[in-house]
Chains A and B, each alone.
Chain A
Amino acid sequence: MSTEEFQLQLLNGVTFGALLFLVASGFTLIFGLMRIVNLAQGSLYLLGGYVGLSTVRATGSFWLALLAGAAAVGLAGLIVERGLLRTVRGKPMSEILLTVGLSFIVADLALATWGGDPVTLEAPPGLDTSTGVFGITYPTFRLAVLALGAIVAIGLWYLLERTRVGAMVRAGVDDRETAAALGINVGAVFTGVFVLGALLAGLAGVVGGAYLSLFPGADAEILTYSLVVVVLGGLGSLRGAIAGSLLVALIYTFGQSLVPDLAYFVLFAPMALILIFRPQGLFGRAG
């Protein structure tokens, strides 16, 4: 692999990692607080992407699509949390199975609405050009994805560590009953976090629609990446989601360029190693 090729793959890995982080951060946030493994996270991603697609077709604006995708999926998250998940709270297996049932429904309705052919969103004007980085030309849009990932990471960190709401969330994570006894409305915090996690998935869907493409099955594929990310990084940890996303994306991009047939298999190797030597993940708490 030449230096230039190496740099290119490195950039691909880092920018793809930023995209994965958008999905995985929502996933890990929801788990961290609510102990819900949201297996519909991939479906929310796909739904966001398709809503974005329809918005672009109707209005021609990518930015509006970004907004609409995130808002629509956030709303869907609100309905799912209030209408369904709330009724089985405290039963992790029922919660997981509910989200699996939802992923059936979303996948099928998306197929009925948007068809089975892969579609790609156009990058918005201004970002659809190339930029020189370290002497190679690289799509500006992908660099913008990296910037967005960084902004979301910093925003989430600030929200969790520096604000009153974040303190409530952390209190809820550490000791739900005491937090409730102190007058924190844990139910509302739960809903807020779930909606935020869904919103991030929807946002990622629109971005992913322009970075990758949207097709039936993209939901399960992105879900698998997210799972590997959180297994690597540690479920419920923001730092883990960042490290895991970058690791998974780099391994996948380099794997794909070196051994294209086995890219998935290569992805599996670090997960296997982590599970054998550190089952709680790189940044996860033991137990």
Chain B
Amino acid sequence: MTASRVKWAGLAVVLLLAAYLPYMVGPFYISLATQALFFGLFALSINLISGFGGMITLGHAGLMGVAGYGLAILSVNEGWGLAAAIVGALVATVLVSAFFALLVVRTRGTYFVMVTLAEGMVIWGIALRWSELTGGENGIPGVPKPDFADAYWQFYYLVLVVVAVCTVLIALLVRSPFGLGLKGVRDAEDRLAPLGYNAAVHKLIAFTISGFFAGVAGLLLAMYNSFIGPSDVFFLASAEGLLMSILGGIGTVSGAFAGAAVVVIVTNWVSTYVDRWQTLLGVVFVLVVLFAPDGIAGAWQRHVWEPLKRRLGRGAPAPAPAAATETRPREEVRS
């Protein structure tokens, strides 16, 4: 068996397990899994620009929220049908993402982080203060789910399918020539122009696509909670998304879901035993940055996958630890 076959077999097992999950565990764990899936998609959307493009964003919950609020406003306040509201919300998200992208493409590194943070907080400000539109502090309750996904397990399957499709699309995108160009932005932005790449356009498109997927996650979030409110788009929500993506292993597809699972478990399950779970998240954040910058996926690569690959032998000769370090976000050179 070659290494790539092991990978495909592993993926098949994970998918089968995911599909079979509602037959094995009760509603509580299904709700955890549902959240891990759509937050995983959210983390993956952050990963698309932060991991593969090297641009750390701290405002993505804002984009997630544009979709969530869009759905809530159009369906609850304006009385649109669900399908039309979903389309409208996604169009709004793409437009806002493109606008935000226009503002950040000329910045890089630390400036990029600050501007995305400010962008996200503007959405939060609107969510909190423009009560007529957004319900202010009370948010908008009563966000509908599709009729066929009313029961918790039906909704789980809906989320599973949507997230799986989005994940495949993102994985294809990352492996496409466009994805390679994106890695070029991360690794050597200044060298792209002589090669005929336009880095700014690349960043713009990547940011907008990333915003779209964050929007899909936002729709699922609003449906899952039957609610959207200011705390869903707050700075800490953006930071949590980034934590998921770093914790899992930034720049990897599977890591986003691993990271999301850990954060969801801490916020939902550990929180029933420990009051200060948010402090715990912060401590995890600090520890990951200090000791495991390549996250769970990095540790997996180093300690499980690479040794396994070597043992299997017949796979491609392993360029051992490089795989883990390659995927780290680019650290800018300091003057």
Contacts and interface: CB of A to CB of B under 8 A. Distances in A.
B299 interface: no
Contact of B285 (A104, A228, A271): A104
A91 B118 contact: no
Interface stretch (A6-14, A115-123, A186-194, A216-224): A216-224
A88 interface: yes
Nearest to A284: B111
A97 B107 CA distance: 18
Given A84-B286, A101-B286, A220-B234, A271 B279 contact: no
Contacts of A261: 129-133
B229 interface: no
Contacts of B107: 275, 279
Interface in B97-144: 102-104, 106-107, 109-111, 113-115, 117-119, 121-122, 124-126, 129-133
Interface string B128-169: 011111000000000000000000000000000000000000
Contacts of B239: 100, 103-104
B276 interface: yes
Interface in A46-74: none
Contacts of A275: 103-104, 106-107, 115
B331 A217 contact: no
A262 B114 contact: no
Contacts of A96: 56, 110, 113
B334 A107 contact: no
Interface in B265-286: 275-276, 278-279, 281-286
8 tightest A-B contacts by CB?
A264-B125, A104-B282, A101-B285, A105-B282, A108-B278, A101-B286, A224-B121, A220-B235
A100 B118 contact: no
A263 B285 contact: no
Contacts of B118: 224, 227-228, 231, 268, 271
Given A220-B235, A227-B114, A264-B126, A100 B285 contact: yes
A104 B246 contact: no
B289 A97 contact: yes
Contacts, number: 147
Interface in B232-268: 234-236, 239, 242-243, 246
Interface string A265-282: 101100110011001000
B72 interface: no
A112 interface: yes
Contacts of A271: 103, 115, 118
Interface string A28-52: 0001000101010000000000000
B326 interface: no
Interface in B206-254: 234-236, 239, 242-243, 246
B290 interface: yes
A87 B277 CA distance: 25
A98 interface: yes
B129 A268 contact: no
A190 B113 CA distance: 22
A91 B282 CA distance: 19
Contacts of B236: 103-104, 107, 220
Contacts of B275: 112
Contacts of A92: 109-110, 331-332, 334
A105 B239 CA distance: 12
B58 interface: yes
Contacts of B290: 84, 87-88, 94, 98
B293 interface: yes
Contact of B293 (A39, A94, A260, A263): A94
Contacts of B124: 220, 264
Chain B: interface size category = 35 or more
Given A93-B329, A112-B275, A224-B235, 11 more contacts: A35-B110, A88-B289, A88-B290, A104-B239, A223-B235, A224-B117, A224-B118, A231-B118, A235-B111, A264-B125, A276-B103
B114 A101 contact: no
A35 B109 CA distance: 11
A219 B110 CA distance: 20
A258 interface: no
A165 B39 CA distance: 48
B285 A97 contact: yes
B260 to A, nearest CB: 17
B129 A231 contact: no
Nearest to B102: A276
Contacts of A224: 117-118, 121, 125, 235
Contact of B246 (A97, A112, A264): A97
Contacts of B126: 262, 264-265
Interface string A226-244: 0110110001000000000
Given A231-B114, A263-B129, A93 B235 contact: no
Contacts of A268: 118-119, 122
A102 B236 CA distance: 11
Contacts of B109: 92
B106 A279 contact: yes
A228 B111 CA distance: 11
